[in-house]
Amino acid sequence: MPMTAPDYTRYFTPGTSFSYENGRTGTLSPVEVGELALPTGRLVACDPFVSLGHGESEPFTVTVAPGRYPVQAAVATLVDPGEEPDPHPHTRIAAVRLVVRAAPVAAWEMALLPGQDLAELGEDEFFGYGVDAGAGCFHDASADDAFPGTDEDEGAVWAAMEGVGHGPEVFLAEGEDRHNLAGFTSGWGDGCYPTWIGRDADGEVACFVTDFLVAPPELVDPAA
């Protein structure tokens, strides 16, 4: 059967921890990215430095009401055995979520693009978006042309990312026509990453979560 989602609520609970077989440990903490404008309610997840402005990225088939929604990143702080405290610790973006409503998630489903069929997936396979420039983003489907110059190493997205400094590598870029974009580095870098939809007990969309596959789900321990 296709890949199944862990309980991503744990990833956004401060103090949740995990460990790797080599002894490296990770502690997860949520960081606010900012409010994303979704004037059409059609969410796109993609690598902004590769896909923006080319009409290549389609929105997910599940839509939400137009509005502005908070985006949060689950930041993993990684520590190797015997490592001394560092004022600039090793961090990776483990997952990012767009919060549609503040309701507990009762069930998870894979976010799909038009034409994708879960029946086509094999054991532990998933549909996801490709990353070739080490970053991902959320934006409204109508904002594809709102960030000129992104594929030429210039413009609002590049400026926002370069301004991050030593903090967690998340940013909010302001584009043309009041559009914006929530951006973030993609875990360990290039790859293919799934996005999930969390639904509440009434079946309503509570959130979208992109998993950058940093935290092994079977090794994630709930916060104490």
In a domain? residue 5: no
Q: How confident is residue 173, by pLDDT bands cut at 50, 70 and 90?
A: very high
Q: Answer yes or no: is 155 within a domain.
A: yes
**Domain with 124 in it:** 10-219
Residue 1 placed within a domain: no
8 Å CB contact between 69 and 101: no
Q: Is 2 within a domain? A: no
Averaged confidence pLDDT in the chain: 93
- 159 within domain boundaries: yes
Domain count, the chain: 1
Name every residue whose Cβ is closer than 8 Å to that of residue 180 and which is 6 or more positions away in sequence.
34, 36, 37, 139, 143, 172, 173, 174
| Domain assignment present for 156 | yes
The pLDDT tens digits of the residues spanning 85-126 come to: 777 888 999 999 999 999 999 999 999 999 999 999 999 999
pLDDT in tens, 188-218: 999 999 999 999 999 999 999 999 999 987 7
Give a yes or no: residue 143 inside a domain: yes
Q: What is the pLDDT of residues 44-60, one digit of tens each?
A: 999 999 999 988 899 99
The reply to whether 224 falls in a domain is no
How far apart are the C-alpha atoms of 68 and 41, rounded to whole Å? 9
